[in-house]
Amino acid sequence: MSNTKEQVWYSGDWKTSRSNLFPPYNGLKILAVSTYETTENPLIKGKLMSIDLTITDFTYDVNGISSTFTVSKTGMWYEIPFPMNDNKKFTVSSVNGGGPGVVRIVEEPSGIFLFIQFRYGLESMKREEIGYIMRFTLE
């Protein structure tokens, strides 16, 4: 038995009103679905089992190009896979360029946090994202 919780994060250049008419159509969206064990006692928090991440890049596609993967081990760097299709429109890469961007989950006394480190965006205007963007706990 398990239960899940969704969180969404948007990059700072995200336009909520409407997308641009030309690239970059919009910024980046990260959907995290965290899966927890359920316990018999509802007062006891279940253990975080895994987090399914979907990183959607709207730079060159108004509908977004997504990369989906799962993270489960704390402290370990996970590469953001290039999507199988339309991977030329997926601009997320390492901060040094070339390779894939990375994420990791870090366990702290106050919870488990998602750390991101990558570049994305137009070739002529790459944007960098660094730092902690989400915290995972059971409410």
Partner 1 sequence: MNAIKLNFINRSNDMNNSNVVIFQQNVAENFDELAVAWKVIQNCGRLDNHPFLYSMNFQVSASDSYGNYTPQLTAYDGQAFDMFKSTSGDILQLSTTPATSPYQVEVRNELSLGAINASCFRDGKLLAVKTGLAPGQKAVFEFRPRIYIGVVSQVEEGDIMNSAIISQVNTEINLLGITSADIVMTGGGPGTSSTEFSFALENINKG
How many other β-carbons are positioned within 10 Å of the β-carbon of residue 50? Answer: 16
Q: Could you say which of 44, 49, 111, 137 contacts partner 1 (CB under 8 A)?
A: 111
Q: Could you say which of 12, 38, 67, 69 contacts partner 1 (CB under 8 A)?
A: 12
The least distance separating partner 1 from the CB of residue 84, rounded to whole angstroms, comes to 28
37 binds partner 1 (CB under 8 A): no
Q: Could you say which of 47, 70, 106, 137 contacts partner 1 (CB under 8 A)?
A: 106
29 binds partner 1 (CB under 8 A): no
59 binds partner 1 (CB under 8 A): no
**Binding to partner 1 in span 79-98, by CB under 8 A:** 95-96
Identify which of 70, 78, 73, 135 has the alpha carbon closest to the alpha carbon of residue 108.
Answer: 135
* Residue position matching structure tokens 């299709």: 85
Q: Are strands 65-71 and 48-57 parallel, antiparallel or unpaired?
A: antiparallel
The CA distance from 80 to 69, in Å, is 7
Eight-class DSSP state of 45? P
52 binds partner 1 (CB under 8 A): no
Given a contact cutoff of 8 angstroms between Cβ atoms, the answer to whether 55 and 92 are in contact is yes
The CA distance from 136 to 33, in Å, is 10
Nearer to partner 1, 65 or 114 (CB): 114
135 binds partner 1 (CB under 8 A): yes
Instruction: Give the interface with partner 1 as residue ranges (CB under 8 A).
Output: 11-15, 17, 27, 95-96, 106, 108-111, 113, 116-117, 121, 125-135
